[in-house]
């Protein structure tokens, strides 16, 4: 039950990161926001909820990433689990139906921004680690 309460508390604890980096003497600013969509969009079946023995109705988590320089927005991206669909389709797991984006970490390397997520079924240990890497123009690659 403590793990479930801890997870539910994440609904009210968005992650905000406001930082910058310099590449070729040009300063880039990054604003990252990860939050619960409060959509009741996930119904985790009873078979994953040993502590309650009932379905768990919860929310998807999503992120917004904005990169700008001066007053110019370089790119904006709304990041959802759907962006990782190609990775999830290759796995023999129920992650497409029941998982969400959790526990992001942000890493800035020279001219790229990498975000690591756990795509996990809430309140379970079923999930995978994934990365999305953006260049400073907004193009991205995903990988497991």
Q: How many CA atoms lie within 13 A of 33 on its CB side?
A: 11
User: What range defines the domain where residue 33 resides?
Assistant: 2-143
Q: How many domains does the chain have?
A: 1
How confident is the prediction along the chain (144 residues), in pLDDT tens digits per residue? 688 999 999 999 999 999 998 888 889 999 999 999 999 999 999 999 888 889 999 999 999 999 999 899 999 999 999 999 988 877 777 898 999 999 999 999 877 899 999 999 999 989 999 999 999 888 999 998
Q: What CATH number does residue 48 fall under?
A: 2.40.128.510
């Amino acid at each position: 039950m403590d793990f479930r309460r801890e997870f539910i508390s994440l609904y009210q604890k968005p992650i905000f990161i406001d930082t910058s980096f310099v590449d070729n003497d040009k300063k880039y600013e990054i604003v990252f926001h990860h939050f619960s969509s409060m959509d009741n969009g996930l119904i985790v079946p009873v078979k994953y909820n040993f502590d309650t023995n009932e379905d768990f109705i919860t929310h998807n988590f999503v992120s917004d990433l904005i990169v700008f320089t001066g007053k110019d927005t370089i790119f904006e991206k709304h990041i959802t689990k759907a962006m990782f669909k190609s990775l999830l389709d290759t796995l023999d797991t129920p992650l497409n139906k029941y998982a969400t984006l959790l526990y992001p970490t942000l890493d800035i390397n020279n001219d790229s921004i990498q975000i690591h997520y756990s795509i996990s079924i809430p309140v379970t240990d079923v999930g995978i680690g994934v990365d999305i890497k953006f260049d400073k123009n907004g193009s991205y690659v995903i990988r497991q």
